């Protein structure tokens, strides 16, 4: 597999073309951003940790029958993935109400609703990724109703599998953001990454936050939290 030119550079990852038109390389950087890129920093080795954590999450999901873009992690910072067209929606799954939603609804962070909450946001940095509903997404041509129902079905299954994975390492999956892509034949697959950058992960025993909120909220020990997640996950997998 030969790495070719940079296709796209995001806030925390780079995407490179390869000599196979159906495959891309995802390169994980050490940059951390929050509040739509207003707060920025470099966290040494974050890219390496997220690559390892995301690889375990995607392998677990694939083993559970969830279709994803992931092929393999081939070195410390790089993964080989199928090339997909990203659907410009961020799907947020909430098992507890936290962060911006707790703030907007004026409920205490950590409130556990009887139902799982699914939000969709328009993936558009200029607009600040606004929350929208299915009808807005269809009206803008971002997805069809059929595609949205497949996305919600997959999101529910992903939530089940990841909740169980994290519980095995004594971590509660509070909420997370995922993205989907379409393969050349129109199949919807899970894409992007699953890591402490994109999930709220609370230690079951202590309630300690082991995720990106340590950076966003200046709680300190950001890298140590990511290292803790990687170490616990590696203990329960063969990697
Ligand atoms: N999230 C993300 N990228 C975003 C926005 C949110 O990965 O651009 C994740 C975030 O880490 C959390 C979940 O999605 O696990 C829900 O985030 P929320 O809507 O509460 O936003 P926040 O409080 O982070 O602004």
Q: What confidence tens digit (pLDDT) does each residue in 57-67 have?
A: 999 999 999 99
State how far the Cα of 187 lies from the Cα of 136, in Å rounded to an integer. 22
> Dihedral sign, CA of 123, 126, 131, 134?
negative
| Orientation angle between helical segments 46-63 and 145-167, nearest 10 degrees | 110
Pocket probe for ligand 1: among 155, 162, 177, 210, the residue whose CB has the most ligand atoms within 8 Å is 177
> Ligand 1: which atom is nearest the Cα of residue 94?
16
Query: Any idea of the CA torsion for 65, 67, 72, 77, to the nearest 10 degrees?
Result: -120
195 lines ligand 1 (CB under 6 A): no
- The whole-number pLDDT of residue 8 equals 96
200 lines ligand 1 (CB under 6 A): yes
- The whole-number pLDDT of residue 16 equals 98
**178 contacts: CB under 8 Å, gap ≥ 6:** 90, 91, 93, 155, 158, 190, 192, 194, 198
Q: How many residues does the chain have?
A: 239
Dihedral class, residue 186 (left if φ above 0, else alpha if ψ from -120 to 50, else beta): left
Q: Smallest Cα–Cα separation from 165: which of 197, 193, 210, 201?
A: 201
Residue whose CA is closest, atom 11 of ligand 1?
Answer: 198
237 lines ligand 1 (CB under 6 A): no
Beta strands at 171-182 and 85-86: parallel, antiparallel or unpaired:
antiparallel
- The whole-number pLDDT of residue 1 equals 86
Distance 71 CA to ligand 1 centre (A): 26
The low-confidence residues of the chain, meaning pLDDT below 50, are 239
Residue whose CA is closest, atom 5 of ligand 1?
Answer: 177
Beta strands at 89-94 and 117-122: parallel, antiparallel or unpaired:
antiparallel
Q: Smallest Cα–Cα separation from 49: which of 210, 220, 218?
A: 210
- The whole-number pLDDT of residue 36 equals 86
129 lines ligand 1 (CB under 6 A): yes
Distance 3 CA to ligand 1 centre (A): 31
- The whole-number pLDDT of residue 193 equals 98
Structure tokens at 236: 């329960």
């Amino acid at each position: 597999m030969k790495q070719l030119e940079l296709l796209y550079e995001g806030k925390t990852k780079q995407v490179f073309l390869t000599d196979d038109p159906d495959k891309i390389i995802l390169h994980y950087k050490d940059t951390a951003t929050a509040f739509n890129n207003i707060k920025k920093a470099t966290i040494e080795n974050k890219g390496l940790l997220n690559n390892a954590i995301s690889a375990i999450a995607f392998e677990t999901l694939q083993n559970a029958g969830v279709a994803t873009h992931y092929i393999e992690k081939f070195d410390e910072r790089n993964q080989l993935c199928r090339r997909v067209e990203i659907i410009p929606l961020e799907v947020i799954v909430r098992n507890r109400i936290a962060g911006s939603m707790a703030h907007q609804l004026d409920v205490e962070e950590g409130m556990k609703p009887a139902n799982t909450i699914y939000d969709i946001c328009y993936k558009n940095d200029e607009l600040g990724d606004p929350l929208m509903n299915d009808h807005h997404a269809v009206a803008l041509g971002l997805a069809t109703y059929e595609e949205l129902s497949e996305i919600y079905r997959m999101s529910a299954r992903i939530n089940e599998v990841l909740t169980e994975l994290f519980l095995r390492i004594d971590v509660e999956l509070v909420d997370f953001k995922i993205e989907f892509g379409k393969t050349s034949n129109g199949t919807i697959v899970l894409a992007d990454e699953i890591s402490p950058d994109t999930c709220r992960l609370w230690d079951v025993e202590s309630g300690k936050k082991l995720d990106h909120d340590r950076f966003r909220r200046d709680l300190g020990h950001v890298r140590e939290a990511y290292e803790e997640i990687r170490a616990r996950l590696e203990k329960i997998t063969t990697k």
